[in-house]
């Protein structure tokens, strides 16, 4: 990206919580923590100090389908960034004492997520959407599932999870291609691939979850099966989601908040996994108005799927999504992360021009069709966390969809 003084490095691997079974629940996330406790010739403090001494930052994240390591740094720091991340993924120390300490740290993280209603309610919905599957288990795992981890077992899991044949190195910003290729060969080219079993295909099962909590607001999530990352209808589904609840001009914001005052926070989202997707709605509402809110949400989904969008709504949604593409292009970190993820999914990055063309080509009929695809399954996953008076919202949402 000409003219920039910084760069962004993303090293992403196609592997995460979805590759786990019940006996390894949470191991991928724990491993991501552990590699920062020492790798190569670096201790935990050395890792961050080497990056920060050059004005950079380093972070990592574990998801269901990908684990990513990210470095932001000044021009000229690519060699250091590549060396540090290479040590993290291929040469972590995995000291037994650190493993036991980090189990306690993750236990606190698990407790924090449980204590945060607008986090835990999503976990509840995911568990119902993908019951008895790795996609429905918490990424953080549990205290019990992490207890058996040893240096040998987590080392074996690292070799399987961080296998270079499922890894992408992406850099954006102040980077020279020849330098990048030489560094990639030096720091990643000698790694040995370790085959791992492919995860089982995901199936949206659906169900309802409630949890009483003495808090002021009810936290509510409604989920419906949607399209995957490779489905040709993904652009139409993203437009559908944007019109439904993507911003202040969206149907849900206007009908639930502005017209009825049912919720302060309400939005819709689309999660596109490799072989399945989820259309979701999150809202925070007063417990005694949760049922009314659920009926409004179901009604807006049904109406958009039946009648389609107006011309103005479709035009606005296309402008918003295209603006997001261009804004992402102007951020080295966003570009590196997006290119890495797309290469893992599609085999190569997808240009913003191509993505914008697919968005522009979507019609109102396309949005009606994807909406009908969502409703045709008859499945939903609902979760309500908060006062007991709100617990009927899940059933009200299901009833509202069937009207």
pLDDT in tens, 41-73: 999 999 999 999 999 999 999 999 999 999 999
Q: How many domains does the chain have?
A: 2
Please tell me whether residues 174 and 217 are part of one structural domain.
no
Residue at a domain's end among 138, 157, 188: 188
For residues 228 and 226, give the distance between their C-alpha atoms in angstroms, rounded to a whole number: 7
Please tell me whether residues 324 and 280 are part of one structural domain.
yes
Q: pLDDT tens digit string along 290-324?
A: 999 999 999 999 999 999 999 999 999 999 999 99
Residue at a domain's end among 188, 222, 253: 188
Q: Which residues of 96-120 are buried (b: 16+ CB within 10 A; e: fewer)?
A: eebbeebbeebbeebeeeeeebeeb
Instruction: Give every CB contact of residue 208 below 8 A, 6+ residues apart in sequence.
Output: 128, 381, 382, 383, 394, 395, 398
For residue 319, the cross-strand partners are: none
Q: Does a structural domain hold residue 253?
A: yes
Q: Does a structural domain hold residue 200?
A: no
Residue whose tokens read 């001494």: 53
Q: What is the pLDDT of residue 198?
A: 85
In the structure encoding, which two tokens stand for residue 346, read together? 């599609």
Cβ count near 272 (within 10 Å): 19
Residue 94: domain span: 6-188
For residues 170 and 177, give the distance between their C-alpha atoms in angstroms, rounded to a whole number: 11
Q: Does a structural domain hold residue 1?
A: no
Please tell me whether residues 171 and 222 are part of one structural domain.
no
Please tell me whether residues 233 and 168 are part of one structural domain.
no
Q: Does a structural domain hold residue 230?
A: yes
Please tell me whether residues 98 and 218 are part of one structural domain.
no
Residue at a domain's end among 158, 188, 218: 188
For residues 172 and 333, give the distance between their C-alpha atoms in angstroms, rounded to a whole number: 7
Whether this model's pTM surpasses 0.75: yes
Q: What is the pLDDT of residue 228?
A: 98
Q: Does a structural domain hold residue 19?
A: yes
Please tell me whether residues 393 and 245 are part of one structural domain.
yes
Q: Does a structural domain hold residue 197?
A: no
Please tell me whether residues 231 and 132 are part of one structural domain.
no
Residue 377: which H helix or E strand, with range?
none
Please tell me whether residues 214 and 288 are part of one structural domain.
yes
Q: Does a structural domain hold residue 199?
A: no
Q: Is 398 in contact with 382 (CB distance < 8 Å)? A: yes
Please tell me whether residues 97 and 182 are part of one structural domain.
yes
In the structure encoding, which two tokens stand for residue 219, read together? 């936290």
Instruction: Give every CB contact of residue 204 below 8 A, 6+ residues apart in sequence.
Output: 129, 130, 225, 276, 278, 377, 379, 381
Please tell me whether residues 179 and 215 are part of one structural domain.
no
Q: Does a structural domain hold residue 198?
A: no
Please tell me whether residues 178 and 315 are part of one structural domain.
no
Q: Is 192 in contact with 263 (CB distance < 8 Å)? A: no
Q: Which residues of 6-41 are buried (b: 16+ CB within 10 A; e: fewer)?
A: bbbbbbbbbbbbbbbeeebbbbbbbbbbbbbbbbbe
Distance separating the N- and C-terminal Cα atoms of the chain: 52
Q: What is the pLDDT of residue 197?
A: 82
| Low-confidence residues in the chain, pLDDT < 50 | none
Q: What is the pLDDT of residue 383?
A: 98
Please tell me whether residues 36 and 109 are part of one structural domain.
yes
CATH code assigned at 396: 3.30.830.10
């Amino acid at each position: 990206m000409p003219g920039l003084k910084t760069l962004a490095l993303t090293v992403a691997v196609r592997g995460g919580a979805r590759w786990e079974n019940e006996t390894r629940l949470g191991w991928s996330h724990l491993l991501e923590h552990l590699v920062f406790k020492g790798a190569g010739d670096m201790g935990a403090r050395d890792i961050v100090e080497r990056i920060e001494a050059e004005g950079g930052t380093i972070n990592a994240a574990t998801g269901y389908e990908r684990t990513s390591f990210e470095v932001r740094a000044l021009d000229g720091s690519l060699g250091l960034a590549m060396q540090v991340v290479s040590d993290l993924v291929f040469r972590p120390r995995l000291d037994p004492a650190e493993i036991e300490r980090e189990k306690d740290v993750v236990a606190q993280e698990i407790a924090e997520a449980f204590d945060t209603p607008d986090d835990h309610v999503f976990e509840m919905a995911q568990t119902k959407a993908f019951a008895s599957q790795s996609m429905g288990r918490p990424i953080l795992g549990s205290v019990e599932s992490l207890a058996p981890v040893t240096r040998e077992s987590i080392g074996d899991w690292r070799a399987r999870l961080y296998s270079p044949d499922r890894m992408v190195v992406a850099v954006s910003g102040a980077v020279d291609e020849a330098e990048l290729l030489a560094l990639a060969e030096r720091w990643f080219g000698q790694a040995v691939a370790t085959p791992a079993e492919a995860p089982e295909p995901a199936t949206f099962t659906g169900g309802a979850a409630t949890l009483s909590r003495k808090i002021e607001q009810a936290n509510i999530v409604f989920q419906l099966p949607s399209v995957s990352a490779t489905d040709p209808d993904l652009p139409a589904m993203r437009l559908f989601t944007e019109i439904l609840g993507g911003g202040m001009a969206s149907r849900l914001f206007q009908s639930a908040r502005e017209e009825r005052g049912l919720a302060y926070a309400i939005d819709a989202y689309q999660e596109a996994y490799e072989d399945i997707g989820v259309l979701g709605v999150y809202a925070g509402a007063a417990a005694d108005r949760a049922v009314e809110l659920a009926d409004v949400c179901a009604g807006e989904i049904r109406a958009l799927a039946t009648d389609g969008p107006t011309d103005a709504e479709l035009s606005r949604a296309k402008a918003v999504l295209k603006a997001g593409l261009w804004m992402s292009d102007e951020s080295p970190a966003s570009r590196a992360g997006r290119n890495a993820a797309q290469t893992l999914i599609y085999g190569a990055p997808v240009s913003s021009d191509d993505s914008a063309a697919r968005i522009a080509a979507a019609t109102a009929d396309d949005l009606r069709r994807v909406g009908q695809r969502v409703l045709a399954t008859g499945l939903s996953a609902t979760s309500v966390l908060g006062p007991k008076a709100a617990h009927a919202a899940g059933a009200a949402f299901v009833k509202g969809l069937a009207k």
